[in-house]
Chains A and B, each alone.
Chain A
Amino acid sequence: MTAGTSPLDPSPPAHPLPARLGQPPPAPQVQPPLVQLRGITKTFPGVIACRAVDLEVGRGEIHALLGENGAGKSTLMNILTGIYQPDAGEIHIDGVRRHFAAPKDAMAAGIGMVHQHFKLVASFTVAENIHLGWEHTPARIRARDLAARTRRLADSLGLAVRPDARIDELSTGEQQRVEILRVLARRARVLILDEPTAVLSPSDAQELFKTLKAFVAHGNAVILISHKLDEVLKVADRISVLRGGRRVATEKALDSSASGLARLMVGHDLVSGANLRGAARVNGAGLATHPVAAAHAVPVLELRDIVVIDSTGRTRLDRVSLKLHGGEILGIAGVTGNGQKELSQVVSGMLPVSAGAVMLGGKDFSRRSARDFAAFGLGHIPEDRLQSGLAAALSVIDNSALREYARPPISRKGWYRPAKARVLAQSIAVAAAVSVADFAMPVANLSGGNQQRIVARREMRIATRVLVAAYPSRGLDVGAIETMMRYFVQLRDDGVGVILISEELDELRNIADRIAVMCQGAIMGVLDPATASIADFGLALAGQRHGATAPLEAPAPQRPRD
């Protein structure tokens, strides 16, 4: 078998496909949308990832999918690409209902996805990667011919790649181009990209957008998963926002603004009726009317001009200064990935700062270990509980003791006493309202929600002065969230300073005394939830410093470069 087979001479770069799908060509007058999702619902144990999501993507359209982590974007796209099967709902391609039992079915229908983490074999060449696992790859072929096929494909699709280069010699931008070429070579008409620019330099990103525009110009479609507001506004035709598994809005990019989208993503809820937050809001009114504690002379925690630069040289925290007093809840709002994770790690002593000082109770803790932070009376509910809050293979007992194993009664004179640790584990489980069948079983056997409750209670026990809670409500149901928020309020009333990092603006506005808004590693401002308007939050979330008067859509000059 030689070159000249079907995939090599598509009338480039258009993808004249309907005939291949074995359906009558759609009526010329009213074309059904290329992709139509109807009422897609998908649940995982304890989590509703997608709730009755409708989505339409037309020919020639770049459709952006915005949402926080956990909003359901990836699950929805995994359903469209056949990786998951929906519990309910229908997928229509060209107006015809389809079932995708496996990714190859979706691929055959012209739907291809470029994942955030490339699925390339690093030690293979570009040509080999393009042809890997492809039915059109000849059974026997010489390397030179394989490269030539790849070059023809690349030329026909307008994507410049070096067929002979090994993947690990390529830059991330080039690797992404290979991924795209691999999908397009398999005659995709719908290209799904998951956070494509997260790994790209700005010029590579421009190049990518040009490619995408050219691709859709031939009647194809692109679905772009992102949480970068500015790029979505620039490149997309329409934008759908997902939150908590629901589609909360679909707007034309021309009619949208960054602040409006940020608000949609983070919490101002347009969906009325069965609102997840409804119950919390009613009760929250009572919670928030807390007389702000008389400011103690010394803040219990203070950040002074904290800068964190990661190993790749990117600035993760940009001159962050914050004060936390005992007896207050300081909310941290922001679109995920704007430095919240680094902030929580810095204030709990897990991440060394590049510059600036972390003060606890007026003392400099910048060079101290996480253990010293805990000994000071700081509890930390980490956002990735299984990765850093728990040792999955160890028992519930051992995990419950993680914070108190070094102090009596669990430890005495260097001994570790499992019997005492069991007592502690039992009391944590009772307080967390988690029923544990066997405390000696690995903590990995607990559900995600129960793990979260155990970690939260464990941390609240040691949080005598500060509690840092990063996304504590993730994976919990409404009742459990409500209970946890009440505990936070109780801690605050007992004089503990609480830092609550959340992606739910409503949640923060209900409970926090002050809310700091982060964007691109910097604090845009600290707002008073009682007086600040939704619009104020929207501006800050979109990267506009609170109090500044520059027009919203102009590139904010104070943004750190990256």
Chain B
Amino acid sequence: MTYRLQRFPTPLATSAFAARTLAVVLALLTAGAALALTGSSPLSLAREVVTDTFGSAFALEDLALLVSPLILTGLSVSVALRIGAWNIGAEGQFNAGSLAAAGIGLFVPGPPFVILSLMLAAGIGGGVLWMAAPALARAYAGVSEIITTLLLNFVAGLLVYWLATGPWLAPGGRAIGTTARIVVDIPELWDEVHWGLPAAILLCVTLSALLRFTRWGYEIRVCGSNPQAARYAGMPVRRHLITVMLLSGGIAGVAGMVEVAGTVHHLQGGISNNFGYLGIMVAVLARRSTLGVLASALFMAVLLNSGIILSTRGVDVSVVLAVTGLVLLYTAIGDEIAHYRIVRGAALSARAAEAAPKEYPPNELAE
């Protein structure tokens, strides 16, 4: 009786989940080992991180404030992935959205509700605008959106920097490079926590449902999985690609607006706080599940929060960045390993025979 390893085209749900859990645990262990080598006590640090993150209302509020932008940027990247596009530019769209929203908040007078609505519209508009060129270039000229969205990040980031330290700098000569405080706020729900969080969760749930339970969502999934099959079924592939990419940009723009109007209340350089890039990690960790963004955004927020706590204990913040990197690395490895199962004997099992089309001779049968 021989045993051998066989690759299956789709992993079992249980092994996929186990692989992810193992990846997180391993990443934490690796980081712990590194901390132990530098002379800290990883166990006591871990205890402090846990109590400081979940042990007080104040800490939970911080966590909540971190989660909402991560949900939104993660959702932005995840939605684009569903149509087969990599939105590396959530960072730039976040900045564009916060910039446009701040512009309204700073310079347009009016009753709070109207201004908030205008800011939301501006946030969406900024994100959509920032995605417009990459979306059209991809749809009509086949230009890789990975490059274009990435490069536009720097433009948006520097634009925000320039405005916040230059033309829009708060009057009164304060040294900090920010605009004046924006008077209108997103209403608060519970102390510092504002309505941005439930709105983000609601948006995530709604979009997941739309993708799963509407005709539009079905078409998006087919277009993303195999554009040629979508064309065969007569779906407007290009139109869907453009609208979903713009939608993705718009969601990232909303994240920027929420951050400005709910949490920071100024426009300042670096307001995006890498949320756009972290959104890529959130989306990748959530695999193909839009709803899974909620869980992975929470996980990412806990990680970031731990970083802040650790830095107050004299541990370098880069440890946290290392942990996020390790989590992604181990997850990628784990996802691949989850495809493998140990098969007994030489004869192919039924499942294995099903899986075999991948091994067809490439020239003859694929054509």
In the assembled complex, the CB of A444 is this many whole angstroms from the nearest CB of chain B, namely 5
Which residues 223-237 of B have a CB within 8 angstroms of A?
225-226, 228-235
In the assembled complex, the CB of A372 is this many whole angstroms from the nearest CB of chain B, namely 7
Closest partner residue, chain B, to A351 (CB atom): B231
B231 CB contacts on chain A under 8 angstroms: 350, 370, 388
One digit per residue, 1 when the CB lies within 8 angstroms of any chain B CB and 0 when it does not, for chain A 441-482 equals 110111110110000000000000000000000110000000
How many angstroms between the C-alpha atoms of A402 and B366 in the bound complex?
21
Q: Which of B219, B221, B364 contacts A74 (CB 8 A)?
A: B364
B353 CB contacts on chain A under 8 angstroms: 45-46, 447
**Complex interface: stretch among B22-30, B209-217, B277-285:** B209-217
A203 at the interface (CB under 8 A from B): no
A116 at the interface (CB under 8 A from B): yes
Which residues 351-367 of B have a CB within 8 angstroms of A?
351, 353-357, 359-361, 363-367
Q: Are B218 and A382 in contact (CB under 8 A)?
A: no
A415 CB contacts on chain B under 8 angstroms: 213-215
Closest partner residue, chain A, to B348 (CB atom): A45
A47 at the interface (CB under 8 A from B): yes
Q: Are B221 and A398 in contact (CB under 8 A)?
A: yes
In the assembled complex, the CB of B286 is this many whole angstroms from the nearest CB of chain A, namely 16
How many angstroms between the C-alpha atoms of A402 and B218 in the bound complex?
9
Closest partner residue, chain A, to B216 (CB atom): A414
In the assembled complex, the CB of A28 is this many whole angstroms from the nearest CB of chain B, namely 39
Q: Which of B212, B215, B354, B367 contacts A411 (CB 8 A)?
A: B215
Closest partner residue, chain A, to B232 (CB atom): A388
Which residues 329-375 of A have a CB within 8 angstroms of B?
348-350, 369-374
Q: Which of B217, B221, B354 contacts A447 (CB 8 A)?
A: B354
In the assembled complex, the CB of A410 is this many whole angstroms from the nearest CB of chain B, namely 9
Q: Are B363 and A194 in contact (CB under 8 A)?
A: yes
Q: Which of B216, B228, B365 contacts A475 (CB 8 A)?
A: B365
Q: Are B361 and A416 in contact (CB under 8 A)?
A: no
Q: Which of B10, B229, B361, B364 contacts A389 (CB 8 A)?
A: B229
B182 at the interface (CB under 8 A from A): no
A249 at the interface (CB under 8 A from B): no
Q: Are A403 and B357 in contact (CB under 8 A)?
A: no
Q: Are A393 and B225 in contact (CB under 8 A)?
A: yes
In the assembled complex, the CB of B351 is this many whole angstroms from the nearest CB of chain A, namely 8
B217 CB contacts on chain A under 8 angstroms: 416
How many angstroms between the C-alpha atoms of A70 and B213 in the bound complex?
40
In the assembled complex, the CB of A398 is this many whole angstroms from the nearest CB of chain B, namely 7
A394 at the interface (CB under 8 A from B): yes
How many angstroms between the C-alpha atoms of A415 and B364 in the bound complex?
40
Which residues 105-155 of B have a CB within 8 angstroms of A?
none
Which residues 322-367 of B have a CB within 8 angstroms of A?
348, 351, 353-357, 359-361, 363-367
How many angstroms between the C-alpha atoms of A393 and B214 in the bound complex?
19
B234 CB contacts on chain A under 8 angstroms: 349, 369-374
In the assembled complex, the CB of A438 is this many whole angstroms from the nearest CB of chain B, namely 10
A112 at the interface (CB under 8 A from B): no
- Asked whether A391 and B359 contact (CB < 8 A) given A411-B215, A441-B10, A475-B365, the answer is no
Closest partner residue, chain B, to A69 (CB atom): B367
Q: Are A370 and B363 in contact (CB under 8 A)?
A: no
Q: Are A416 and B218 in contact (CB under 8 A)?
A: yes
How many angstroms between the C-alpha atoms of A44 and B219 in the bound complex?
34
B226 CB contacts on chain A under 8 angstroms: 387-388, 390-393
Top 8 nearest A-B pairs by Cβ distance? A371-B234, A391-B225, A74-B363, A370-B234, A45-B356, A391-B226, A416-B218, A388-B228
Residues of A within 8 A of B (CB): 44-47, 49, 69-75, 78, 84, 116, 194, 348-350, 369-374, 380, 382, 384, 386-394, 398, 401-403, 405-406, 411, 414-418, 437, 441-442, 444-448, 450-451, 474-475
